[in-house]
Amino acid sequence: MYAIFTENLIKEYQNHQILKGINLKIEEGEFYALMGPNGSGKSTLASIIASVRRPTEGEVKIYGKRPELMRGIIGYLPQESFLSPLLTGMENLTYFARLMGYSRHDAKKISSELIERVGLTDHANKKVSDYSGGMKRILEIATLLFPGIKILILDEPTAGLDPSARRMFFDILKEIREEDTAVTVLMITHIGTDAEVASRVGLMDDGRIIAEGTPEELKEMCSLTEVVDIETSMKNEKILEILNKLSSNGRVLETENGYRVYCSNSEEVISEIVTALNRAGCKIVKMESKRPSLEDVFFKLTGKRLRGEQDASDIR
């Protein structure tokens, strides 16, 4: 039996189909990352699995039952902050513990243990309005750690976290999964490096899952072996044309300071790029060869960027 199972899930909203038949099968204990750009429907999917919204068609099962019946084992982290700024960190956590059904005494005990676990003991009695954005997110993550929670549905959990808080988040997640191997994680993200941590990744675009597999499988699937990042003194159509001819499958991504060229053999391509750009009078400020990320895989498959709103306009 799958921990999370969806079949032909369709969600329509204001005559617009947000989800177009999602079939998702996640095994117990799996860490599944769902990656896609803004508006691809990933948050809608997460909220349906968490029983916050209802699908228009299709079915969702959590351990074979309707999600509404499994709320006691679901820990859902929505994208928006849900803490009360007028309550202290400890009061907020105790509130959620009591909603899980704990008595006042047990809720306080569990909450103080969790506050300590997430490193907020010194701030436990401060009002949440005095917390930084990262501290708020960490406290929200603590609401997922109550005993008995077996399925974590995390919607952009690292959004707004600084590098140390982000590291802490992944450490906590690792700890949870080591302590209880039956805990299943579904993480929604648009950050490739976050998705790399997962055991399986689904790439979502325009309401559909377009590819699925381990991070390595996805990279192999697109025959993406290397990418070359080039920082140039200028950017124009002519340079794009040159790089376009040298890239594999003709895909070049325009970056902030230059271009990213997708290729299968960077050694050959780099020398060709240097020669071609010198001939065109373009100075190369910096050039480096990298292993492709999941964001590159997504770009290769869809021609859309994961971060920001730009999409097809980036494809040259």
Partner 1 sequence: MHQISASFERTLKEFLRNRSVVFWTIAWPSIWVLIYSLLFTKEVPKHAVPYVRTSITISMMTFALTIAGMANLPANIARDRESGLFAKLKSMPLTPWKDILGRLSALTVFSAIASILVAITGVLCGARFSGTCDHVIRSILFLLIALLASAGIGLILGSFIQNVQGVIMGGVGICVVMASISGIFSSYASLPPILQKLSRVYPISSANSISIYLLAGESVAGYNPLGQAASTVASSLLIFFIGLILYHRILWRGE
Cα(197)–Cα(223) distance, integer angstroms: 21
Calpha distance 32→285 (Å, rounded): 39
CB of 101 to partner 1, least distance (A): 6
Size of the site for partner 1 (CB under 8 A): 34
The answer to whether 79 contacts partner 1 (rule: CB under 8 A) is yes
Site string for partner 1, 24-63 (x = CB under 8 A): -----------------------x--xxxxx---------
**Residue nearer to partner 1 on the CB measure, 50 or 253:** 50
- Which tokens is 118 given? 């997430």
Site string for partner 1, 136-175 (x = CB under 8 A): -------x---------x----------------------
Q: Tell me, residue by residue from 84 to 113, as one string, x for binding to partner 1 by CB under 8 A and - for no binding.
A: x-xx---x--xxx-xxxxxxx--x------
Q: How far apart are CA 46 and CA 239, in angstroms?
A: 42
CB of 166 to partner 1, least distance (A): 20
Contacts of 234 (CB under 8 A, 6+ apart): 282, 283
Classify residue 252 as exposed, middle or buried by CB count within 10 Å of its CB (0-12, 13-18, 19+). Answer: buried
β-sheet bridge partners, residue 234: none
Binding flag, residue 74, partner 1 (CB under 8 A): yes
Nearer residue to partner 1 within complex by CB, 159 or 287: 159
What are the phi and psi torsion angles at 223 (to 5°)?
A: 45, 45
Residue 66 within binding range of partner 1, rule CB under 8 A? no
CA-based max dimension of the chain: 75
221 CB neighbour count, 10 Å cutoff: 15
Please tell me whether residue 72 binds partner 1 under the rule CB under 8 A. yes
Q: Which is nearer to partner 1, 13 or 167 (CB)?
A: 13
Indicate left, alpha or beta for 15 from its phi (over 0: left) and psi (-120 to 50: alpha).
left
Q: Which residues bind partner 1 (CB under 8 A)?
A: 13, 47, 50-54, 71-72, 74, 76, 78-84, 86-87, 91, 94-96, 98-104, 107, 143, 153
